Amino acid sequence: MIGASASLTLLGGCAVGPDFKSPHPRTDDRYTEAPLQTQIGPTSAADAQRLVIGAAASPEWWRMFQSEEIDQIVQRALDGNRSLASATYSLAEAEELVRARTGYLYPQVDVTAGVGRQKLGSQFLGTFPKPPPFTYYAIGARVSYSLDFTGGVARSIEQQRALSQYREHQLQAVRLAISGNAVMKTLEIASLNAQVATIESLLERDRANLELVQAAFEAGSVSRLDVVSAQSQLASDATTLAPLRQQLSAARHALAVIVGATPATSALQSFDLSKLTLPAEIPVAVPSELAHRRPDILSAEAQLHAATAAVGVATANLYPHIDLTGSFGPQAVSTGELFESASNAWSIAGGLVAPLFDGGRLRAEKRATLEAVKASAANYDQTVLEAFQQVADAIDALNQGADSLRAQTAAEAAARENVELTRESYNAGQVGVLQVLDAERLYQQARLGFVRAQAQRYLDTAQLLLALGGEQPSP
C-alpha cells in the first residue's frame, strides 16, 4: 500500500527530521474489475457517449452540457456561495501565516526606551564608591537572532507552507463541490419538471378517459363499475403529483442556498431537460494521474507533508538553541545628557539553552509526530481508495444508465402503441374500459421510467466528471 512505502521513505531523512517526498502513485491500469469499455451505448444512437482515456477536462467542466442556464447558475454559485468565500479567506489566512513564520529566519530589531530609578548594593560595588540612588534614562535599538543550525525554524516554515497548500487544495475542493452541487441540483430540477409535466399530461388522459366512460355509461354500453374504475385511475394518478411537486420545491430551495440566496429571493428560472445536451465525449484521466487531479487527494498529501515537517520541528527541539542579542543606544542619568556622544552604550551577548531534563516531554512529542505521520499516510491511502471507488461507481452507473434508457425507450414506445391500439379496439367495441385503463397505467409507468432514465444519464455524466476531479485552476 501507499502508506507503508510513504512512511518508510518519509522517516529516513536527515538529523533534524525527514525530507518529504510525494507518495508513489498507484500503478492500476483501470478503474473497474472488467476492462474499460470506452463506448457508452451504440454508436448509432443519438445519446451515445465515448470515454476519452487520458484527456484533460476543462476547469469549467459544466459547459460540456451546452446549457446557458447551467452556466449562469454555476457562475452565480461561484460568486455568491458562502462556503466558497469562507475557504477563500482561510487560504488567505494560511498564506499570511507562512509570511509570519518566515520572519523568524531574519534578525528581530526593536526600538527600546525606558526610565527607571535604581540603588546599587554594597556587595555589588565592593570597594568602589557607593553612589546614592539615581534615576536613569535609556533609548536605543535591540537586535536578537536565533541561530537555526538544527533547522527547526526552517521545518516550521515548511510545515506552515504545507498547511497553506492544504488550504489551497481545500479551496479547489470546495469550488468543485459547489459547481457540482449546482449542476446536480439543476439537473434534478429539470428531471422533476419533466416528471411533473408527464404526470399532468397523463392526468389529462385520465380525464379524457373518464369523460369517455361516462358518455358510454349514459348510452348504456358500460356499467357503473367501469365509471368507478376510471374515477379510481384518475384519483390514483393524481396522488403522484403532490410528492413530485414537494421534491421540486425542496430541490429549488437547496439550489437557492447553493447560489447564496434564500428561497424567497433566489429568482431561479425553470429548467427544461430537453434543452440540455448530453456530452458525446467524456475525458477520463488514467488511474496514475487521478491523484494529481482530485483536490481531496492533493489535500491529503499536503496534510501528510505538514505532519512530516512537524517531525523535524520536534526533532530540533531536542537540540540546544543558540540566541544572539545586541543593543546600542544612549544611556544617561538626566535627559539633558541623553543624546551626548559620551552617553552611547552597547552590548552584545550570546546564550545557549540545551534541554537537560524535561520528564520525557520532548521525546514524547517527537514520538507523537511520528505517529501523526503514520495516521496521515493512512488517511492518504484511504482517500485514494475512495476516489478510485467513486470513479468506478460512476463509470458503471453510466454504462447501466445507457442500458436502462434503451430499455425504457423501447418500453415507452411499446406502451404508447398499446394505448393507441387499445383505444381503437375500445371504440370498435372489441375491448372494455378496464383494458383501456390498464393500457394507460402501463403507459404512465413507461413514460415516467423513460423521463427518469433520460435524466439519470445527465446525472451520471456529471457524477463521473466530479469523481475525476476535473482540471482544477489555481485560486
The per-residue pLDDT for range 96-128, each reduced to its tens digit, is 999 999 998 899 999 988 888 888 777 777 777
| Residue 13 binned pLDDT confidence (cut-offs 50, 70, 90) | very low
Q: Among 353, 376, 398, which residue terminates a domain?
A: 353
Of 302, 329, 353, the domain-final residue: 353
Judgement on whether residues 69 and 46 belong to the same structural domain of the protein: yes
Q: What is the pLDDT of residue 221?
A: 76
Residues in the chain, total: 475
* Whether 11 and 142 share a structural domain: no
pTM of the model: 0.84
Q: Tell whether 112 and 100 lie within a shared domain.
A: no
State whether 92 and 31 are in the same domain: yes
Q: Are residues 189 and 283 in the same domain?
A: yes
Instruction: Please report which confidence band the pLDDT of residue 471 belongs to, taking 50, 70 and 90 as the band edges.
Output: low
* Phi, psi (deg, nearest 5) at residue 243: -60, -40
All three cell numbers of 166: 492544504
How far apart are alpha carbons 90 and 171 in whole angstroms? 9
Q: Is residue 473 included in any domain, yes or no?
A: no
125 or 132, which is more confident: 132
Q: Tens digit of pLDDT for each residue in 171-217?
A: 999 999 999 999 999 999 999 999 999 899 888 888 888 888 888 88
Residue 252 resides in a domain: yes
- Do the domain assignments include residue 324? yes
Domain that holds residue 325: 107-147+320-353
If pLDDT is split at 50, 70 and 90, which confidence band does 457 have? very high
Q: How confident is the model at residue 346 (pLDDT cuts 50, 70, 90)?
A: confident
With cut-offs at 50, 70 and 90, classify the pLDDT of residue 69.
very high
> How confident is the prediction for the chain on average, in pLDDT?
88
Phi, psi of 108 (to 5 degrees): -100, 120
User: What number is the average pLDDT over the span 45-61?
Assistant: 85
Say if residue 273 is in the same domain as residue 413: yes
> What average pLDDT does the segment 415-425 reach?
91
Which pLDDT does position 248 carry in this prediction? 95
**What pLDDT does 106 receive?**
92
**Highest averaged pLDDT of the listed ranges 42-46, 150-154, 231-235, 386-390:** 386-390
Domain with residue 112: its CATH number is: 2.20.200.10
Output the pLDDT for position 131. Answer: 80
Residues 298-311 pLDDT 10s: 999 999 999 999 99
In terms of domains, do 71 and 118 share one?
no
Specify whether 128 is located in the same domain as 249: no
Does 121 share its domain with 177? Answer: no
Does any domain span residue 475?
A: no
Q: What is the mean pLDDT of residues 9-29?
A: 72
Q: How far apart are CA 83 and CA 297, in angstroms?
A: 20
Q: What percent of the chain has pLDDT over 90?
A: 55
Q: What is the pLDDT of residues 134-165, one digit of tens each?
A: 888 889 899 999 988 888 999 999 999 999 99
The answer to whether residue 257 sits within a structural domain is: yes
Please indicate whether residue 116 or residue 341 has the higher confidence score (pLDDT).
Answer: 116
Range with lowest mean pLDDT among 27-31, 157-161, 406-410, 456-460: 27-31
Domain assignment of residue 348, yes or no: yes
Of 353, 374, 407, the residue at which a domain comes to its end is 353
* 74 within domain boundaries: yes
* 63 found inside a domain: yes
Q: Does 74 lie in the same domain as 119?
A: no
Q: How many CA atoms, within 13 angstroms, populate the side-chain half-sphere of residue 305?
A: 20
CATH for 415:
1.20.1600.10
Q: Domains in the chain: how many in total? A: 2
Q: Are residues 370 and 396 in the same domain?
A: yes
Looking at the structure, tell me whether residues 327 and 407 fall in a common domain.
no
pLDDT confidence of residue 26: 83
